[in-house]
Amino acid sequence: MSQIVVVDCQNDFISGSLACGNADNAVEFIKEYVNSNSDVELFYTADFHPKSHMSFEENGGTWAVHCVENTNGSELSKVFDGISNERLVPNVDNVFLKGRDKDLEEYSAIAAINNKGVKMLELLGDEVIVVGIASEFCVRETVLDLLKEGKRVTVFKDALGYVNEENHIANLDELEKMGVKII
């Protein structure tokens, strides 16, 4: 069974304050892939920031306010409601939150925890597929941390949203040189 980490496919990264290129297409690709390959296990990750998060420009950070906990922007895409296997839609067991500490920037999802207190990393096997948003930030850092943990990583390039297309392409080239399989 393939394990897929779906990184930060949230409203603010798709159509909100930090909307990314190719995000709509990426989410549709993920849904279609899962509907065609139901022998998978999904791990959704999500930024879930307090209003006072240090990454926000208004708090001295780099980014516009995004994915504030319990707002529409923090919700995962409703496209995933179209996944035909009910076990694979976002739920309390397979959604892992990150970025909850107001004083910590957390691009990587490797330490993300679900609402039952389980760390995503504890559930991952040796081979992991990574998809989601944004290629050159949270996806990249998640992939790098998975490599450090000795995982074999595959990235589906059609299932990625990005902030800057040029940087996205450079990121994929660099990850491939590090041993990541890019499909």
Residue 160 pLDDT = 99
Name the residue with tokens 């390959």. Answer: 37
Residue 50 pLDDT = 96
**CATH architecture entry for 2-182:** 3-Layer(aba) Sandwich (3.40)
Q: Tell me: the pLDDT tens digits for 127-139?
A: 999 999 999 999 9
Residue 177 pLDDT = 98
Residue 12 pLDDT = 98
- Nearest to 20, CA basis, from 174, 178, 171: 171
Q: Are 76 and 132 in contact (CB under 8 A)?
A: no
Give me the helices (H) in the chain, please.
11-14, 23-36, 140-148, 165-177
Residue 168 pLDDT = 99
Query: Mapping DSSP to helix (H, G, I), strand (E, B) and coil, where does residue 153 land?
Result: strand
Residue 150 pLDDT = 98
User: What is the side-by-side strand order in the sheet with 40-47?
Assistant: 95-98, 40-47, 2-7, 127-132, 152-160, 181-182
Q: Tell me: the pLDDT tens digits for 142-165?
A: 999 999 999 999 999 999 999 999
Residues lower than pLDDT 70 in the chain? none
Q: Are 68 and 47 in contact (CB under 8 A)?
A: no
